[in-house]
Amino acid sequence: MTTRDVYLAINQTCNRWPEPLVNRLGEAARLVASLTEDWPDEPVEVSLLLTDDAEMAALNKEWRDKEGPTNVLSFPAPEGFTDPDADGTPLGDIAIGLTIAETEAADQGKSLSDHVLHLWVHGLLHLIGYDHMEDQEANEMEAREIRILAQMGIDDPYRDSER
């Protein structure tokens, strides 16, 4: 396992996010970085928006032209983008919606923490180029997610779903 520096710039626009969960996100990001061979070697910064359904719906409409909230959105930084105020090379932005995450976790019989950490890992992998538009890509991305989440003590989030 390689240790890589990952800095978070967290913006909470919803005050209901559980503090212990928010506190785990940095550790989880460093674990993703250490377990992902193609993670950038230089220190990186990820901007994270922890928000609610209304803001997620607005972002989903603006950036994906889709109605309603979604659980996670990832916006990789453009190649060569720099920010003199960042603690590392900007990797991109991730937004996670609390209310939809709570609903999904309850519907799937998972803890909120496990579900949000899965969304976070999923979003981080998107920032470095992983996708799930094609079956082969989806299988590779899911396998990485499962391996990383297992290191956190989180069960396979895809175990009971249809792939």
Find the DSSP H helices in 7-134.
19-35, 53-64, 98-108, 112-127
Q: What is the pLDDT of residues 67-87, one digit of tens each?
A: 999 999 999 999 888 888 888
Tokens at 43, concatenated = 């220190």
CATH T-level fold of 6-151: Collagenase (Catalytic Domain) (3.40.390)
Between 1 and 100, residue with greater pLDDT: 100
- The pLDDT value recorded for residue 69 is 94
Sign for the CA dihedral angle at 163, 108, 27, 148 comes to negative
- The pLDDT value recorded for residue 163 is 45
49 sits in which H/E element: strand 44-51
Bridge partners of 80, per DSSP, are none
Poorest-pLDDT segment among 5-19, 24-38, 105-119, 131-145 = 131-145
- The pLDDT value recorded for residue 137 is 85
Question: How does the average pLDDT of the chain come out, rounded?
Answer: 92
State the Cα–Cα distance between residues 148 and 150, nearest whole angstrom. 5
- The pLDDT value recorded for residue 4 is 83
Question: Does residue 94 surpass a pLDDT of 90?
Answer: yes
Question: Does residue 144 surpass a pLDDT of 60?
Answer: yes
